């Protein structure tokens, strides 16, 4: 296998792991509460890690297909992030019914407590900001990251196709 292809797969695995790591660390250490769309945005990175690791074990021509698949998985992640940014900017409603903040209405105190969710959640249309004083939400940062990630993979794939092995 061409070493450049192996390096591209390994860097892709690391880039996907970094994105997932930032999301998990911001939740665990930053106290940020993810919405349902935020949780869905993490799945393409998990899939990209798996595809990249499998690609490292494949012969050259199949590894190239794995990298192409990985690129399209990242592009799908960018699409989910785009939808999330649109929801945050109130361009359209969330496609997920879980994105609405829980509505707790009347009843006795015990009924209200029973109707509350087990884990805290937030509405998908409320942007979460990781960096204070920087008006770029986590979803927007993910969109930019995924687009740059995909663009880098696309450029690599096109250049490596024309430059030969």
**Residues of the domain holding 130:** 3-95+120-163
Tally of CB atoms within 10 A around 109? 7
Provide the domain count of the chain: 1
Q: What is the CATH number of the domain that holds 151?
A: 1.20.1550.10
pLDDT tens readout for residues 135-147: 888 899 999 999 9
27 inside domain: yes
Give the model's pLDDT for residue 111: 60
- Tell whether 105 is covered by a domain: no
CA distance 49 to 32: 24
Task: Tell me the C-alpha to C-alpha distance, in Å, between residue 18 and each of 45, 59, 105, 110, 163.
Answer: 9, 26, 41, 43, 29
pLDDT at 100: 63
Let me know if residue 9 belongs to a domain: yes
Q: Helix, strand or coil for residue 159?
A: helix
Tokens of 68: 């192409």
- In a domain, residue 112? The reply is no
- The residue ranking higher by pLDDT, 150 or 99, is 150
**Is residue 102 one of the residues assigned to a domain?**
no
- Would 111 be classed as within a structural domain? no
Residue keyed to tokens 């899939």: 47
**CB atoms < 10 A from the CB of 136, how many?**
14
- Asked if the structure places residue 114 within a domain, the reply is no
User: CA 160 to CA 23: how far, in whole Å?
Assistant: 31
């Amino acid at each position: 296998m061409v070493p450049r292809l192996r390096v591209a797969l390994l860097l892709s695995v690391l880039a996907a792991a970094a994105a997932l790591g930032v999301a998990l660390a911001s939740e665990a250490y930053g106290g940020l509460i993810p919405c349902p769309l935020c949780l869905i945005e993490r799945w393409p990175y998990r899939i990209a890690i798996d595809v990249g690791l499998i690609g490292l074990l494949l012969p050259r021509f199949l590894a190239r297909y794995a990298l192409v698949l990985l690129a399209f998985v990242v592009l799908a992640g960018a699409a989910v992030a785009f939808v999330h940014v649109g929801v945050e900017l109130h361009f359209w409603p969330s496609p997920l019914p879980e994105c609405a903040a829980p509505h707790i209405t009347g009843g006795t105190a015990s009924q209200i407590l029973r109707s509350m969710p087990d884990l805290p959640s937030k509405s998908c249309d409320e942007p979460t900001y990781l960096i204070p004083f920087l008006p770029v939400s986590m979803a927007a940062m993910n969109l930019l990251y995924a687009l740059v990630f995909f663009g880098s993979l696309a450029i690599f794939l096109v250049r490596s196709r024309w430059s030969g092995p």
